[in-house]
Amino acid sequence: MNNATEAYLQVKDIHVGYGRVAVLEGVSLEVPRGGFVAIVGSNGAGKSTLLRTLSGLLKPHSGEILLAGESMIGLEPAEIIGRGLLHVAEGRRLFRSQSVQDNLELGLWGTRLSKEETTRRFDRVHTLFPVLLERRKVNAGVLSGGQQQMLAVAQAMIRNPSLLMLDEPSLGLAPSVIDKVLDAVVQLRKEGTTILLVEQMVERALQIADTAYVVQNGRIIGHGLALELKDSDLIRRAYLGAGTIESRNIQKGISA
């Protein structure tokens, strides 16, 4: 387990909505440099909205977002990518009429890498996902769902992000494929990439993350060590809609 404590990403009291409809209300969290943080909560809790805000696709009404101590408020998505934050969105958004190789090359758009560094990054991707090398000439649209998810992750990781955000990477995949994708994410973290994961498979997410935040109705209702959250009733209450939980009702070691 990485013992890094330096806050690399800081989210401070952000409020986000669509028009007059509030989605996130006063959300604050921290992701340590080199750490692995999971965001869990029921459907509609605001998890995807949080990631879309961090990647610049949505603008917060108020609050602050800092990456490596510098504000990201007002930056366009391309500028945020340039800062090293990559977002693998839910739904495997690929260039489906383009080959696997083309999709990976598009992941490097705007970079200026030497031939040796480019080769090294492709080798890294192919080591984690050998099927992408085998099917490099195949159009992304004809890949299986699991292969498309691998390609989506690979397209982000080939850019060598300092912080990788993944939104529901297991959605719609067979258990064996889920293991391959999440094992690759764990390996990326071991290599130094900071990870922020939104995942529907709560137990699996809490097994591989260091810490986790629980979101309910657009608010953080608890956070703590992932394995301690896994064994608490906070998760059950969040998914059953039992309402906000005060810190006195959360087992020792978990903060509300």
pLDDT one-digit tens code per residue, 198-245: 998 899 999 999 999 999 999 999 999 999 998 788 887 777 664 433
Say if CB 162 and CB 128 are below 8 A apart: no
Res 255: pLDDT: 39
pLDDT in tens, 69-90: 999 999 999 999 999 999 998 8
Q: What pLDDT does 171 receive? A: 86
Percentage of residues of the chain with pLDDT beyond 70: 91
Whether 254 has a pLDDT exceeding 60, the answer reads no
Give the tens place of pLDDT for each residue, 112-140: 889 999 999 999 999 999 999 999 999 99
Average pLDDT over the chain, rounded to whole?
88
DSSP string, 68-79: TTEE-TT--HHH
Distance of CA 3 to the CA centre of its chain: 20
Q: How far apart are CA 197 and CA 61, in angstroms?
A: 24
pLDDT score for 240:
65
Would the pTM of this model clear 0.85, i.e. be above it?
yes
Instruction: Give domain limits for the chain.
Output: 7-255
Does residue 5 have a pLDDT over 70? no
CATH architecture observed for domain 7-255: 3-Layer(aba) Sandwich (3.40)
Count CA within 13 A, CB hemisphere, residue 188: 31
Which range is least confidently modeled, 39-43, 229-233, 248-252? Answer: 248-252
Tokens 């404590």 -> residue: 5
pLDDT in tens, 171-209: 888 888 898 889 999 999 999 999 999 998 899 999 999
Residue 109 to residue 176: CA distance in whole angstroms? 32
